[in-house]
Amino acid sequence: MKKKYISILSLILLFLLVFTACNIVAAISPASQQTEQTDAPEDTATRTNPAKAPATDAQESIPADTEAPETEPPEPDVGLEGTVMELSGDLTATPDAPTVHLVVSFPRVDLTGAPEGRICSLECKQNGRLVKHIESFLLLPGARQRFAVTFPFSRYMEEAAELTVVLRYGTEVLTDAAQVRLENDPDEVYALASGDKRPYSIDVIRNHNVVIVYGKDDAGQYSVPVKVWLCSTGRATPRGSYTLSDKHAWGALFGGVYGQYLTRITGHILFHSVPYYSMRNDRLETEEYNKLGTAASMGCIRLPVAHAKWIFDNCPAGTSVHIYDTTELPVERPTSIQLDPEDPRSGWDPTDPNEDNPWHN
């Protein structure tokens, strides 16, 4: 009986021992698992739980669920469209100052498609002949370029020249042009400088009442028209070839009238001004002056005062004079000057160089 109680007691103790051991093991296991999770490397936790991974800089600027923006294409180059070119400068040349300075400016340039400017070429031409070429010209708003152009003056040359500026950008071309005034010395200056004793020859075309003064060409022939004037011839004006002889500043004419700057052609045939009632510059026969360009004289060759004086000053004795008729003029016919008889100045020739001439005031 006693042994029986001891066996039961032993079983109870064994049960209690096993139960206690299980509780101890159960208590130790969660702590161990918590320690393992706590001690796990940070990158392991990140790999095993991506949702809790810290965001990088790239992830902050571009969220994972957003597409990167596309880069806009550059604007197309509009070229010379909208470009404005202007030409300026003192464009008058003389034998003493034969160089002009042409200023090319670009007040407006559209830089769409070329914000840093455009590399162009720039040319300056004189009457179509290339004067200056710039291979690389940076075209920007406000850009400027100066061209110095020198004109070689000579005895016979045009009174004006054209300067053309050409801007090139690829296949695009922009052009502009400016006129240069060429103020040459009078022809008599060249004649005097040449030392030629017979620098001119004079043609009187009787049926057209026109006088043409010819200068010499490079071959020494009288073929270059220097002066073209209207005149008045008459029924007694002879045809033929003559040479100039004596001269007089004032002289008496047929009919009790007077003339200025008389130069004898032959006999009683002279170059002279339109008649005056007396030897005074303010006593011009106005009605006769208005007949210039028509036959109105007794045979002499009437001219405005300035033209009669030019022959008087520049055509020495021995100068050839040819008087003839022709169907067509070799030059353009000048226009006539008509004076109003009621004008208080009409007693004066408008071309008279006299300092008291009211037409000059």
Report pLDDT digits (tens) over 40-96: 444 444 444 444 445 454 445 555 556 666 777 888 999 999 999 999 998 999 988
- Closest to 326 in 3D by CA, of 209, 179, 233, 246: 209
Antiparallel, parallel or unpaired: β 240-243 and 301-303 = unpaired
Task: Provide the 10 A C-beta neighbour count for residue 315.
Answer: 23
pLDDT digits over 90-117, tens only?
Answer: 899 998 889 999 999 999 999 999 999 9
Does residue 36 have a pLDDT over 50?
no
Q: How many CB atoms are closer than 10 A to CB 47? A: 10
Q: CA 289, CA 291: separation in Å to the nearest integer?
A: 5
* 3-state SS class at 230: strand
> pTM, whole model, 2 decimals?
0.60
Predicted local distance difference test score (pLDDT) of residue 26: 60
Domains contained in the chain, CATH given: 84-182 (2.60.40.10), 187-352 (2.40.440.10)
